[in-house]
Structure 1
Amino acid sequence: MRKVIVDASCLILYKKIDRLDILQALFPELIATQEVIEECGFKPGWIQVKSFTSPAKYLALIVGLGKGEASSIALAMETDHSLLIIDEKKGRKKARELNLEIVGCLGILLLAKKLGVIESVKQIVDLIDNTNFRLSPTLRAKILKEANE
C-alpha cells in the first residue's frame, strides 16, 4: 500500500473549510511528521505521526524551507513509493528536484471527484475562495476544466 505523507498547508486548508473528511476518505492511513502537527496546531485522530530518521537530510532541506516542508520531504525521501501532499511553491520545487511524487490540495479534489468522494470540485473551490489560500484565476479555471465543471 502506498504511503501518503501530508504537509501542514493541506491539513490547515481542509480544516478551514471543514472538509477533513475528504482527506480521511481518500487516505485513511495519512502520515504527518511531528513538525507538521506542531505547525498545524491540531492532529486529526486518523493521522499517524512518523519521524524522519536522517537529521542530515532534514538539516539540508531546512535551508529555504519551513520545518514542516523540510520534515515532510525528508520523510518522503526515506519512504519507498510515497506520495507527498504539498502546496508551498519552494517545497514543491525541491520535492520535484528529488524526484518525489507530489500532489497538492487541488489535485486531491480532482482525485476525490474521480473516486466519487465528492460530487463537485467547484463547490469545494468556492469554499477555498473564502480562505487565505492563494488561488489564481488561471489555476482555478484550469482545475475546474480538468474536473469538467
Structure 2
Amino acid sequence: MPEVISNTSCLILLSKIRQLDLLNTLYNSIIITDTVKTEFGENIPDFIKIKNPNQEFSVKSLEQILDSGEASTIALALETKNSLVILDDLKARKIAKNLGLKITGTLGILAKAKKLGIIDDLEKQINELQRKGIWISESVINEIRKIDKSTN
C-alpha cells in the first residue's frame, strides 16, 4: 500500500463535512508535513503522522510556484518511494503529475468511499461541501457523477 501524503485542503474540506475519519478508514494512516499541520490549524487525529521532507531545497524551489503546504507535500512525496498524494489545487496537481507522482483529491476520496460502500450518498457529500462555501467546478462535479453512476 502506498504512503498517503495529504495537503491541507483535503483535511479542511473533510473536517468541514465531518468526514475526516474517511482517511483513516480508507488508508489507515496519513502523512502530513509540519507546514500542513500549521495550515490546518486543528488538532490532528492519531492516524495522521507528521513527517517533513529532507531536502529543504526542493521545498524552496516548489515554493516559487506553489504555496508552502503544497510545496512541502510534493517535496515529501518525491522523497517517498511509493506514495499517493492528496492535492486539490489544479496547479499543484499538474506539477505533481508532471513530476511522476500518483495523485488524488478530496472528491476522489469521497468517490472511492462511495464505491467501497463506506458512504451512501456521494451527491449529498458534494452538496454539503458546496453549502460550506467550497467552490467545485461543474466539469469536476460531472466527472464525479459519471464515476458514481458507473459504480451503482
**Count of residue pairs brought into register by the alignment:** 149
| Equivalence for 2:31 | 31
Give the whole-Å Cα distance in 1 for the aligned partners of 2:111 and 2:99: 24
| Equivalence for 1:48 | 49
| Equivalence for 1:7 | 7
Taking the TM superposition and a 5 Å limit, the aligned residue runs for 1:1-149 are 1-42=1-42, 43-148=44-149
**Partners of 2:14 and 2:20 within 8 A in 1:** yes
**Partners of 2:23 and 2:29 within 8 A in 1:** no
Give the whole-Å Cα distance in 1 for the aligned partners of 2:8 and 2:127: 21
Give the whole-Å Cα distance in 2 for the aligned partners of 1:110 and 1:22: 11
TM-score by length of 1: 0.95
Structure 2: stretches of 5+ with no match in the other structure: none
Letter in 2 for 1:57: S
State the shift of 1:18 in Å: 1.1
State the shift of 1:105 in Å: 0.6
Give the whole-Å Cα distance in 2 for the aligned partners of 1:132 and 1:82: 30
SS of the residue aligned with 1:87? coil
State the shift of 1:21 in Å: 1.8
Aligned CA-pair RMSD = 1.2
State the shift of 1:113 in Å: 1.4
SS of the residue aligned with 1:57? helix
Letter in 1 for 2:32: A
TM-score by length of 2: 0.93
